């Protein structure tokens, strides 16, 4: 990296919980040479490993990078991709950009929200589905667009999306039942 490589590797204590996921974060910290300017990358890693950014993880990162916790939380809360609540098993993000909007994205959100009894921005009570909205995912030629578990679904009507989610959940139920019995 460009910044002078001051050695911050004077080892900090490992996380007291012994949670193995912290070992993954430690590896990323080492790769980043504990450089403070790698904070955004490390937050990405932490969220990938833990699913969301808990206070515990943020404080741990602050300690390892020798940054004030306010700085770490300040950066994490600035960017929309970082989340502080654990999301559900599946994440469904409906694009509300203008091209999607004029082609009915609002209906997609409303009807999906009703079908699975989950307000936009939240997770179902059983923790299986999170419904989010995005401001524009940059696939305007495929409007209305939904990003489901990282995969772009093109030209979605509410019926398309609801059927897709129901099918997926039903398949999971069937698999679980088979395993159980």
Residues in touch with other proteins (CB under 8 A)? 1-3, 36-41, 43-44, 74-75, 78-82, 96-99, 101-107, 134-144, 147, 150-152, 154-157
- Contacts made by residues 11-15, CB under 8 angstroms, sequence distance 24+: 12/63, 12/64, 15/60
Name which of 37 and 126 has its Cβ closer to other proteins: 37
Name which of 38 and 123 has its Cβ closer to other proteins: 38
| Shortest spacing between CB 123 and other proteins, in angstroms | 19
| Shortest spacing between CB 19 and other proteins, in angstroms | 24
Distance CA 35, CA 7 (A): 9
| Shortest spacing between CB 80 and other proteins, in angstroms | 4
Q: Please, how many CA atoms are within 13 Å of residue 81, restricted to the half-sphere of its CB? A: 11
Residues 6 or more apart whose Cβ sits within 8 Å of residue 145: 95, 100, 137, 139, 152, 153, 154, 155, 156
| Shortest spacing between CB 174 and other proteins, in angstroms | 25
What does the CA dihedral 101, 143, 156, 110 come to, rounded to 10 degrees?
-10
| Shortest spacing between CB 35 and other proteins, in angstroms | 8
Name which of 142 and 169 has its Cβ closer to other proteins: 142
The secondary structure of residue 148, as a DSSP letter, is E
Length of the chain in terms of residues written:
181
Name which of 131 and 134 has its Cβ closer to other proteins: 134
Name which of 19 and 49 has its Cβ closer to other proteins: 49
- Backbone angles phi and psi of 123, in degrees to 5: -120, 145
């Amino acid at each position: 990296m460009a910044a002078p490589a001051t050695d911050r590797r004077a080892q900090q204590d490992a996380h007291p919980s012994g949670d193995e996921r912290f070992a993954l974060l430690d590896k990323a910290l080492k790769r980043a040479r504990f450089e403070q300017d790698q904070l955004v990358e490390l937050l990405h890693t932490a969220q990938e490993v833990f699913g969301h950014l808990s206070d515990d993880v943020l404080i741990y990162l602050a300690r390892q990078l020798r940054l004030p916790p306010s700085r770490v939380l300040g950066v994490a809360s600035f960017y929309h991709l970082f989340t502080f609540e654990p999301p559900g098993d599946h994440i469904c993000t409906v694009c509300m950009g203008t091209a999607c909007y004029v082609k009915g994205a609002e209906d997609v959100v409303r009807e999906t929200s009703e079908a699975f009894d989950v307000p936009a921005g939240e997770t179902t009570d059983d923790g299986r589905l999170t419904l989010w909205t995005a401001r524009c995912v940059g696939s305007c030629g495929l409007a209305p667009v939904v990003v489901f578990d990282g995969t772009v679904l093109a030209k979605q009507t509410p019926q398309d999306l609801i059927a897709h989610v129901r099918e997926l959940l039903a398949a999971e139920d069937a698999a679980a039942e088979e395993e159980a019995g």
